[in-house]
Amino acid sequence: VKRLSKDSGQGLREFKNEVILIAKLQHRNLKRFDIIIGIARGLLYLRRDSRLRIIHRDLKAGNILLDSEMNPKISDFGLARIFGGDQTQINTRRVVGTYGYMSPEYAIDGHFSMKSDVFSFGVMVLEIVSGKKNRGFIHPDHDLNLLGHAWKLWNENKPMELVDILLENVPTAEVLRCIQVGLLCVQKHPEERPLMSAVLYMFDSDNASLPKPKQPGFYIERVHTETDSSSSCNKLYTPTELTVTTLHGR
C-alpha cells in the first residue's frame, strides 16, 4: 500500500513500484481493518454503483494507494475490462496480471469475471492480517503458500497464529472474521466465492452467519530451492525499514 500525498515530486511509475502493501502495514489493527473495508467498498463501487461495470484484473497490494488519512484508493486500471449489462464472464488468450493474486480460472484457462477480483481481494485480506506476501511465502514447517498456510491453521483451529506479530491486543472476533472472509474469497471455484456486496455485509454485520470455507484455490506445496531459502521476500518489515513515497502532480 502506498501513501498518497500532494507534496511528492516523484513520477507515478516510480511511486507505484517503490513499495508494496505489506511494507506499509505497520498500522495498528483498527487501521488495517479500515483498509480492508475501504478496498471492499471500492470494489463494490466498480461493480454496482459506477456507470460502468469494471473488472480490474490486476488487483494487488501494489495497486492500493493510501491518502493522507490512510483511506485506500484502488489504482492502475491499465488492464481493466468493462463488462456489458448482462455479461458475467469473458475469455481471453492473453492472461495478464500478477501471479499470487490471480484466480485459478483466470491464470489457467483465461476466464475472468467479477469473482476473479474477489479472489485477488481475498489474497490481500490474508496478506494484511498476516503481514506477509502470498507469493514467495516461506514457513519452516511446510512448503505451502500463504493461502495454504492460512487454510492449514484454520483446519487446526489455530487461525490466530496467522496474525502479524506486529499487532497487539487484536480483537479476536474481528480478526477471525477477516480470516474467514479472506478464505471464502479465495475458494477454488468462482461460484463458491461471495459477491462483494455479501463481503461487506459479512464485515458490517455482527450477526452475519458466515459459510464455512473450503480448500482455497492454488493450495500448493512447493519445492524450496537455494534461492528460495535465502530470499528475504517473506520477511517482516519493521518501521525503520519502510519507505513512504509521496506523489505530487507535475
Q: How many helices (H) and strands (E) does the chain have?
A: 8, 7
Q: What is the DSSP secondary-structure string of 178-245?
A: HHHHHHHHTBSSGGGSPPHHHHHHHHH-TT--PPPP-PBTT--B----HHHHH--TTPPPPGGG----
Is 58 assigned a catalytic role? yes
- Can you read off the three cell numbers belonging to residue 127? 496478506
Compute the CA torsion angle 75, 81, 84, 88 (nearest 10 deg). -100
Say how far apart CA 131 and CA 162 lie, in whole Å. 9
Query: Closest Cα to residue 190, out of 100, 105, 124, 97?
Result: 105
How far from 23 is each of 61, 109, 157, 226, 245, CA to CA, in Å?
Answer: 10, 32, 28, 24, 12
Tracing cell 466465492 back to the chain, one arrives at 193
Question: C-alpha 147: how far from its chain's center?
Answer: 11
Which of 58, 117, 164, 204 is catalytic? The answer is 58
Say how far apart CA 204 and CA 135 lie, in whole Å. 29
Tracing cell 487501521 back to the chain, one arrives at 31
Contact by Cβ (8 Å): 210, 177: yes
- Residues labelled catalytic: 58
